[in-house]
Amino acid sequence: MRKIFLITGGAGFIGSYLAVNFKKHFPRSSVITIDNLVRKGSSHNVLLLKKYKIKFIKGDVKNKAVFSRLPKVNILIDCAADSRVLAGYKSSVRKLVGSNFLGIINSLDYAARVKADFIFLSTSRVYPFDKINCLNYTRRKSRFYLACRRKGVSLWGIREDFPLQGIHSFYGATKLASEYFIKEYAYAYNLRTVINRCSIISGPGQFGHSEQGIVSYWLASFLFKKPLKYIGWGGEGLQVRDALHIADLFNLVLKQIKHIEKIKGKIYNVGGGQKNSFSLKELSHRCQKITANKIKVDKIKKTVLLTLSGI
């Protein structure tokens, strides 16, 4: 059967990469993208989409009328989100809810109407950071390591069954609320859905900044000799993240589409794993080696959680 894809947030880093590679993998398929082009750099990706004859619609997913003029599709992949960690703290919470939650409701309404499979790119931020920060850690050389085992935690990291009660950030809360509604829509309308809780995603074409796209942001700071900061936890840069390459994300989503009847309703943690993990300190060493540049990295020792009085 000829596939018709709809990708919301289709001019973003992830959405445009998926769109182009779906077109390459399924040359006879139709790929439709929607994006409001608010994110800096997204307009450049529109040219890339047009190069591969991918239909682009400028529109906002929180506007239900955008979906009323769409043809029937087989697969909807939701990549539309304001993914800044501090969104809602330094900007309007209502605007964030509109982009990240009301937009999902409109996408789900459309998917239910046309009976499209629904793949949602969620985030590891749905796990409460106040609970994660209270776990036991040990320091070894240039990074922290988890030193405890309890429900939802292994020496490999946080599992999907980690308790979700706690503080998530406004961004994380909108994504978690979206997950709950995806489950309800799947039950009510018999939709085949998959939720991917993604960690850091990196790769070519990413326009990183201090709140999102940390790998490209860090590398660019070394390349152009811009100062950086280690914030919190003693100011030594021992916090650990893992990075998933965008090509690996595409391969995963491709497999999920092929086997969606078997995995429908599942939730997955999607990351690069321990082999692709790094502390900020280790990332600095790697970027210094690549660029041959040394830059100033300030140390802010105090750990301040996300609050209106302390961000």
Least Cα distance to 123 among 270, 275, 307, 272 occurs for 270
Q: What is the pLDDT of residue 208?
A: 78
Question: At 6, which helix (H) or strand (E)?
Answer: strand 4-8
Q: Is 4 left (phi over 0), alpha (psi -120 to 50) or beta?
A: beta
pLDDT at residue 207, rounded to an integer: 82
Q: In this predicted structure, what is the pLDDT of residue 150?
A: 85
pLDDT at 14: 96
Tell me what pLDDT residue 154 has: 85
Q: Residues with Cβ < 8 Å from 180, sequence gap 6 or more?
A: none
pLDDT of residue 310: 38
pLDDT value at residue 308: 44
Q: What's the CA gap between 104 and 106, in Å, rounded? A: 5
pLDDT at site 305: 63
Own/partner pairs for 43-48, CB < 8 Å, 24+ apart? 43/11, 45/11, 45/12, 45/13, 45/16, 45/205, 46/11, 48/16, 48/20
Q: What is the pLDDT of residue 89?
A: 82
What fold is seen in the domain 4-300?
Rossmann fold (3.40.50)
The sign one gets for the Cα dihedral 176, 113, 62, 6 is positive
In the predicted model, residues of the chain with pLDDT beneath 50 are: 307-311
The reported pTM is 0.94
What local confidence, expressed as pLDDT, does residue 307 receive? Answer: 47
Q: How far is C-alpha 35 from the geometric centre of its chain's CA atoms?
A: 16
What's residue 309's pLDDT? 38
